[in-house]
Amino acid sequence: MLNPKVPLIWLTAVGICCLATQADARDLSVRVNRWLEFRALTGSVQYINSGRTQTARVGARLNAVGDGVRTGRRSTARLAVDTEVGFVTVAENSYVRIARLRATRNGGRVTDLDIIRGQARLQVRPFTNRESELNIRTPAGVSGVRGTEFGVAVKPDGETGVATLEGRVVSSAQGVSVDVPAGFQTLIEPGEPPQPPEPLRDDPTLDIRVLRPSTLDGSGTLEIAGSTDKVNLLIINEEVQSTDENGSFELRVLLPGNRQIQATVITPLGTEQVYELVVP
């Protein structure tokens, strides 16, 4: 006699297969020409295309996973996302690359960008297709948008500041998602969930508490300590410096012969302030 449970098990398996097939169909990518195109450049900008590093020029395109852009000191790049669904402005000393660039069967366009270091500001118009996405990935987490203007700043240790000017951003890390609406900012530390949003400051103020030649080793170095907003980038001696979860820092750099040193602060939205520090 046949076991009456056998047909039931078989039908259940068929149902699962059908559901899986439907899910695969929804996620299936189709061949559509997608790219990021350079629209404006200043200073020294290089881009990686198909594994080759070249000097960037207006009109050049990034169109594959792994393609990216690197900016040098006092250099910026502005790129359009193919159908001008959005624009990405990359600040100095930054590295941004394509993580995913595809189209769905239903006409949605999915764009994932990695910000390895530095700062970028994005202007993204509202999507008309529900399957369209634009996600910014950093070593600390992911921020996704569907129509907004926001900025991201990534420090050398991966700590990430996110600030929303218009629209809404959802920042996610460690299984936790946080809404960052217009007029708010957040900080994401590697290995931690996003901090609760705070009112947007967009403040590049630098507070210097210590600026003196080191007396510890007689090596001609300079001690610098101070603070800035915790979401900001701090550049000293052309290098992005790490700050703690409160935006404070203590570091030692070579003391220039003219006893002057330049510091630059950049907010996640790209507001920049340059400071000329004179060592007493």
How many C-beta atoms surround the C-beta of residue 224 within 10 A?
23
Q: Using pLDDT thresholds of 50, 70 and 90, give the confidence band for residue 84.
A: confident
Q: Using pLDDT thresholds of 50, 70 and 90, give the confidence band for residue 145.
A: confident
Q: What is the pLDDT of residue 155?
A: 95
Three-class SS of 132-154 = CEEEEECCCCEEEECCEEEEEEE
Long-range contacts: 254-259, Cβ < 8 Å, 24+? Answer: 254/220, 254/221, 254/222, 255/213, 255/214, 255/220, 255/221, 255/222, 255/279
Q: Mean pLDDT of all residues in the chain?
A: 87
Q: Using pLDDT thresholds of 50, 70 and 90, give the confidence band for residue 1.
A: very low
C-alpha dist (Å) from residue 221 to 224, 242, 251: 10, 18, 10
Q: Using pLDDT thresholds of 50, 70 and 90, give the confidence band for residue 216.
A: low
Q: Tens of pLDDT along 60-75?
A: 999 999 999 999 989 9
Q: Using pLDDT thresholds of 50, 70 and 90, give the confidence band for residue 58.
A: very high
pLDDT (average), residues 267-274: 97
Q: Assess whether pLDDT exceeds 50 at residue 15.
A: no
List CB contacts of 157: < 8 A, sequence separation 6 or more: 190, 242
What is the distance between the alpha carbons of residues 35 and 126, in angstroms, rounded to a whole number?
19
Record the pTM: 0.84
Q: Assess whether pLDDT exceeds 80 at residue 4.
A: no
C-alpha dist (Å) from residue 91 to 106, 148, 220, 267: 34, 19, 31, 10
What is the distance between the alpha carbons of residues 201 and 198, in angstroms, rounded to a whole number?
9
What is the distance between the alpha carbons of residues 233 and 275, in angstroms, rounded to a whole number?
13
